[in-house]
């Protein structure tokens, strides 16, 4: 039983009058999209665009969300009939909307068959994903399927009861093929370079290991458009829940906090149809590559750098880091001098104002985006955020000392002890590996060797590159000696 003051279909009318709500009949919605990885980001981004399409009168595109791990999202949203609040926050105030595009949420480990049944429904035209970098079960340096990944080993042995996103996708495609139902389009919305291509590579390899004919069928008939997604979405806190309840009049078990900025650039390749997202602010292009590189290197590369160095310097949130001495100048110089020259041209795009806007977004005082949150999963993020940019600088014969400091910041962070000798809760699928490799090592040279031995992150090229070793080793030495605050303040000045 839902309570009187909890958000649900029955209590919608009690929302404060300034709160936007679904302007369509949710009982008439069909499920056209199954989304794998229904976390906060999806609910602040794709689900919001799709809510606007539903509001325009096209009821085909309700989203069935799937959690691949925990039941938390389902437990929060089910009593609310899938409804949740999005709070858009910046220094000038907050705006609240209730989003209605989620039809229901399934928890894959509880009932994989229910997920597969949903994925084979003929009304489902798109499977979208936000499963984070590690959800692709690949080796970060090469982005090819990690065939020894425990979930992949499991899913190859038990294809009809998968655990991984890849296993679910391939089994659902196999079943659709058998039923004579046309395949869905696969829409990766994760922060990976060429995310559609990457998803295609791991899906095809997995399918090949199962059945080469199935791989041929997928290669010939399934579309994998690439996308660039952007919106900053910090994890929700209890304080946020209180803010939402006070402002909207209804309690929401899991509201989403985000910023005004939102961007979605998508390759227009949907053979079985798609929502008219172009009418609600989505940009469709032939090739998303240049947008994706710009976003990954400028936004995410800076974000990770601010997260590691900022955490080490004792700052809790990105906006705190941006106010600390030297950080803003450091990140501006890194963007302008080291990242921008590596980007492919984007004609008609004003890169200077994009970068200025990025720094404003990082400063947003109303978003408490924790450095610790962004610091997670560094082993999966480093290649596309910093290392590929460095590769390009090396190729161009240009210096990259700030990017090198970002990488050294990660190495220092991943040792698991902060500058005051306190433990750091390092969350990363390879965390045990770092711990073993760096155990008992204290000098920059020994730590550098230990990390560069992880070729699944650095590749052989960087591990063997003297310039890279010198730049990162030097930065690490300075970090260990002077600490992050002093190192950044110095690096921003010269």
Q: Considering beta carbons, is residue 223 or 233 the nearer one to ligand CS2? A: 233
* Min dist. Cβ of residue 373 to ligand CS2 (A): 6
Q: Which is nearer to ligand CS2, 21 or 381 (CB)?
A: 381
> Using an 8 Å Cβ cutoff, are 84 and 101 in contact?
no
The residues, ordered by sequence, that sit 6+ positions from 207 with a Cβ below 8 Å of its Cβ are 170, 173, 214, 215, 218
* Separation of alpha carbons 489 and 321, rounded Å: 12
3-state secondary structure string across 251-305:
ECCCCEEECCCCEEEEECCCCCCCCCHHHHCCEEECCCHHHHHHHHHHHHHHHHH
> How many degrees, rounded to 5, is the angle at CA 400 between CA 395 and CA 406?
125
Q: Indicate which single residue of 108, 232, 244, 247 sits in contact with ligand CS2 (rule: CB under 6 A).
A: 232
What is the smallest separation between the CB atom of 83 and ligand CS2, expressed in angstroms?
A: 24
* CB 33, CB 106: distance < 8 Å: no
Residue nearest to ligand CS2 (CB): 303
Instruction: Write down the least CB distance from residue 280 to ligand CS2, Å.
Output: 18
- Which residue in 51, 146, 171, 230 binds ligand CS2 (CB under 6 A)? 230
The verdict on 283 binding ligand CS2 (CB under 6 A) reads no
In the complex with ligand CS2, which residue's Cβ is closer, 233 or 480?
233
- Binders of ligand CS2 among 292-351, rule CB under 6 A? 299-300, 303
Sign of CA pseudo-dihedral 143, 145, 150, 151: positive
Counting other chains too, the contacts that 436-443 makes at CB distance below 8 Å and 24 or more residues apart are: 438/414, 442/480, 443/480
- Using CB under 6 A, pick the residue from 31, 103, 185, 191 that binds ligand CS2: 191
Question: Does 181 sit near ligand CS2 (CB under 6 A)?
Answer: no
**Residue closer to ligand CS2 (CB basis): 191 or 478:** 191
What six digits make up the tokens of 72? 């938390």
If binding is defined by CB under 6 A, does position 444 make contact with ligand CS2? no
* Residue found by looking up tokens 């982005």 in the block: 143
Residue 114 or 366 with smaller CB distance to ligand CS2: 366
CB of 234 to ligand CS2, least distance (A): 8
Q: Which is nearer to ligand CS2, 39 or 473 (CB)?
A: 39
Interaction between residue 258 and ligand CS2 (CB under 6 A)? no
374 binds ligand CS2 per the rule CB under 6 A: yes
Between CA 449 and CA 86 the distance in angstroms is: 45
Residue ranges with strand state E in 68-157: 84-90, 93-99, 102-107, 126-129, 138-139, 144-145
Contacts with ligand CS2: how many residues (CB under 6 A)?
10
**Closest to 387 measured CA to CA, from 481, 454, 312:** 454
Q: Which stretch binds ligand CS2 (CB under 6 A): 61-69, 91-99, 228-236, 403-411?
A: 228-236
CB of 442 to ligand CS2, least distance (A): 28
Cβ neighbors of 117 (< 8 A, separation 6 or more) are none
Look-up: residue for tokens 């990766």?
188
Residue 465 touching ligand CS2 (CB under 6 A) = no
To ligand CS2, the closest distance from the beta carbon of 263 in angstroms equals 8
Q: Which residues bind ligand CS2 (CB under 6 A)?
A: 191, 230-232, 299-300, 303, 373-374, 381
């Amino acid at each position: 039983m839902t309570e009187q003051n909890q958000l649900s279909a029955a209590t919608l009318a009690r929302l404060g009058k300034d709160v936007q709500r679904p302007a369509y009949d949710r009982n008439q919605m069909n499920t056209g999209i199954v989304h794998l990885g229904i976390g906060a980001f999806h609910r602040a981004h794709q689900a919001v665009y799709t809510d606007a399409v539903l509001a325009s009168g096209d009821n085909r595109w309700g989203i069935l969300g799937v959690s691949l791990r925990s039941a938390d999202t389902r437990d929060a949203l089910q009593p609310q009939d899938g409804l949740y609040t999005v709070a858009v926050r910046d220094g000038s105030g907050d705006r609240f909307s209730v989003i209605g595009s989620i039809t229901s949420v399934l928890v894959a480990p509880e009932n994989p068959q229910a997920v597969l049944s949903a994925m084979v429904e003929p009304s489902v035209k798109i499977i979208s994903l936000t499963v984070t970098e590690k959800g692709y079960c690949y080796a970060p340096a090469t982005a090819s399927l990690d065939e020894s990944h425990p979930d992949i080993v499991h899913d190859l042995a038990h294809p009809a009861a998968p655990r991984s996103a890849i296993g679910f996708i391939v089994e659902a495609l196999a079943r659709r093929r058998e039923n004579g139902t046309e395949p869905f389009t696969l829409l990766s919305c994760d922060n990976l370079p060429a995310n559609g291509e990457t998803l295609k590579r791991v899906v095809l390899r997995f399918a090949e290991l199962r059945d080469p004919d199935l791989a041929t069928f997928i290669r010939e008939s399934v579309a994998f458009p690439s996308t660039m997604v952007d919106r900053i979405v910090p994890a929700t806190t209890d304080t946020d829940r209180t803010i939402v309840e006070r402002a909207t009049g209804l309690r929401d078990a899991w509201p989403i906090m985000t910023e005004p900025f939102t961007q979605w650039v998508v390759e227009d390749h949907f053979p079985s149809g798609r929502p008219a997202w172009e009418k609600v602010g989505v940009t469709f292009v032939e090739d998303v590559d240049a947008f994706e590189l710009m976003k990954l290197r400028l936004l995410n590369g800076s974000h990770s750098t601010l997260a590691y160095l900022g955490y080490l310097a004792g700052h809790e949130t990105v906006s705190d880091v941006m106010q600390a001495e030297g950080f803003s100048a450091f990140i501006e110089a890194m963007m302008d001098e080291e990242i921008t020259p590596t980007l492919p041209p984007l004609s008609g795009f004003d890169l200077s104002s994009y970068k200025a806007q990025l720094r404003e977004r990082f400063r947003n005082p109303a978003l408490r985006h924790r450095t610790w949150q962004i610091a997670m999963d560094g082993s999966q993020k480093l290649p596309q955020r910093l290392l590929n940019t460095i590769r390009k600088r090396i190729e161009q014969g240009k210096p990259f000392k700030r990017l090198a400091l970002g990488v050294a910041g990660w190495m220092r962070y991943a040792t698991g002890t902060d500058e005051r000798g306190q433990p750091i809760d390092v969350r990363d699928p390879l965390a045990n590996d770092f711990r073993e490799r760096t155990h008992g090592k204290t000098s920059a040279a020994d730590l550098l060797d230990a990390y560069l031995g992880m070729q699944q992150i650095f590749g052989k090229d960087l591990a063997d590159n003297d310039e890279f070793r010198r730049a990162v080793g030097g930065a690490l030495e300075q970090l260990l000696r002077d600490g992050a605050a002093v190192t950044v303040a110095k690096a921003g000045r010269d």
